Structure 1
């Protein structure tokens, strides 16, 4: 198969001779035998395709690499094999799992494959795909005296796109990324974010001729020698194609993101001076008000104290009320001072939020028991809103601490903040960027909190 592009693409790329190519050819290699553990893939490929020349790129399906490297596993339970290869679950829906595997790749089922392998066995991905690519490249140089590039390929699905395509999971001697940033397009516009995944483009081209069921696991691309590195340079490898977690905006699936946010939600008592983005807090409030509530009501109100003046004015008034209460309780001045210091978490936070309960829409029964239950319903709904708020803050990578202090001096809070008389402050939430990573805490076994009837 040959492919002639409609127009030449030219630029000064990162590889030698980054000029446009007039065209390239890609074809599948015929005549390869069934690969078995211990086989030398470079020798098998050299025998099947002895006419390789400098600058060719070999596209080798990962399955035959796994077979040659003995990565076949007897496994009646494929799920157990997936578990063993999984580092992190990214998303789960029913039996389908998208995971990060031990090679750092995010893919379905950790790359564990039960196709094209004998019944009762599964194939695992190569242990070190970049290393596998280097070994094949060096073997072809020894066998044929040529300098080629080698890509190990596997089939991936992609977020937001239907269908599968081959991508590079291992590479040697190939410029896997073509960074065009700093250049210009045909109209002279600056390119500020264009980094082309050249290795994946090559892998997809190879998949067109190899097919999924044709028994043709190797393809050759000829006519793009500028993509191949010098003989003594294996390049960065396909690992360079894996997006760093710091830059990954879509690191988790929906349910996993929620679970991680819940797990990450910890009480933070020390904050940095970094300002809090008001938009982050408002997005957390938007999540808070999705909580369930009785009678189709909206019992939540969130008072945001974003200026230091408003926080200090409230906290000073609350401290005076607290000291008065403690003195009435007979506490010593030393004990009072210690308790006041423990409450400084609110004072040290760059943002303070006071969630309030309103009883609009509540029912009055004229019966103490039922009226008390009615209020409890609204209290539970407000608590659910506060929990949503705290989890959403964690999702925004903000630390928080809920404290109950405003509940003990509601009149003071209402007066200082000029709140309606029917707004009941339900604690306060300190918000900011954590000054340190949270300490590990022991796992809580869910069974300890469950009773089944």
Structure 2
């Protein structure tokens, strides 16, 4: 592995392949070239005037992943998650910034084809850039573009030296090469290209580029920073009324309960209880009893049978769910003043705390990728619910929550402007 000297300053319109060839690199079939993205960007005219680097970062950002002070980790237009969208203010004239290549894989293909035509060699090309990494200090180079290189080495289905099956081992070969190349290129030596020889098995006419290394959002367990994840979970919480038959993981529900009981409550109390109806028979028994009580109430109110049937249908969302949760309010630790006004306010405090716990629960379910619908019906027949579920007299059911996997994408929530809900004094 060695770096190529003599490339010099790269300018807009330069042919990177010809610049490399001009150094008389002595390339052979099966070599891999590691090309710093900066020279590719300069050759492709990706230097832009920008007195304000933050504005340039905004323009290149698709999604903010995490933010702390002025530092932003974002997903950029190339689909890469990195600091500052890859916008670089170093090694470029004052008042300008350097953007990443528009399509780093296409850039790598052009360099590879140019070297094939100029030098007659079949080499792999990797375009590299410098990344920080979660959970690790320090920077390293990774592959952001590739051509003619097997960027991933999938060892799944094989076995190790002891005969143990390999079920999760996929080696990021292109990233390992990029990091190795940076050892000889350095960050400030003016050596933007390195050559690796001796690994011909990674060079092949393959269509995959470095984009194959980028984990898609659905598979990324760490797609967001902490505060962004909380906001996203809150924003993505929707009332889901149609569910698939896919079973609900009871562990996920229990984790949501653990989040629920961190809600604020008066007098250092714990006013929440969550009854988990995990068996179909328990759900059916409760819902049948609630339906009968509800119909009896509606008939006493003089509602027509048509009206009653319509109202009962609204509660059917609970029957369509594969899992039910009944949150309950308990007043243990409440103060009793012997004054109707103050005792009513005391209960309101506990009801607000119960609502905060339920909100935590619903948001945590969304974070577990579970849909939910909070239905108030148990509040209208609390005695029936307590009797069927065998609950203590002091437990007040605060509705029922249908839980499951959404059968379809929830409808978009109407846009709400926060300022419409704010009064400042």
TM bucket (normalised to shorter chain) is: over 0.9
Instruction: Tell me the residue number matched to 1:283.
Output: 255
Per-residue CA deviation, residues 20-75 of structure 1 (Å, 9 max, x unaligned), is xxxxxx11111112111101111111111342222221111001100100111111
Q: How far off is 1:267 after superposition?
A: 0.7
Q: Measured at CA, do residues 186 and 349 of structure 1 come closer, stay the same or move farther in structure 2, by a change above 3 Å?
A: closer
Instruction: Tell me the residue number matched to 1:326.
Output: 298
Q: How far off is 1:234 after superposition?
A: 4.8
Q: Does the CA-based 8 Å contact 1:134-1:234 persist in structure 2?
A: no
Instruction: Tell me the residue number matched to 1:166.
Output: 141
Aligned: 1:123 with 2:85:
no
Matched residue SS, 1:409: helix
Q: Does the CA-based 8 Å contact 2:16-2:43 persist in structure 1?
A: yes
Instruction: Tell me the residue number matched to 1:421.
Output: 393
Aligned: 1:211 with 2:183:
no
Q: Does the CA-based 8 Å contact 2:37-2:127 persist in structure 1?
A: yes
Per-residue CA deviation, residues 175-215 of structure 1 (Å, 9 max, x unaligned), is 11122223333333332222211111111111011111111
| Count of residues paired in the alignment | 425
Instruction: Tell me the residue number matched to 1:33.
Output: 8
Instruction: Tell me the residue number matched to 2:159.
Output: 184
Q: Which segments of 5 or more consecutive residues in structure 2 lack a partner in the other structure?
A: none
Aligned: 1:69 with 2:44:
yes
Q: Does the CA-based 8 Å contact 2:4-2:25 persist in structure 1?
A: no
Instruction: Tell me the residue number matched to 1:197.
Output: 172
Q: 2:23 aligns with which of 45, 48, 71?
A: 48
Aligned: 1:448 with 2:423:
no
Instruction: Tell me the residue number matched to 1:374.
Output: 346
Spell out structure 1 runs of 4+ moving beyond 4 A: none
Aligned: 1:106 with 2:78:
no
Measure the CA separation in 2 of the matches of 1:347 and 1:186. Answer: 52
Matched residue SS, 2:274: strand
- TM-score for the superposition, normalised by structure 2: 0.97
Matched residue SS, 2:373: strand
Q: Measured at CA, do residues 183 and 324 of structure 1 come closer, stay the same or move farther in structure 2, by a change above 3 Å?
A: closer
Cα RMSD (Å): 1.3
Measure the CA separation in 2 of the matches of 1:358 and 1:50. Answer: 77
- TM-score for the superposition, normalised by structure 1: 0.91
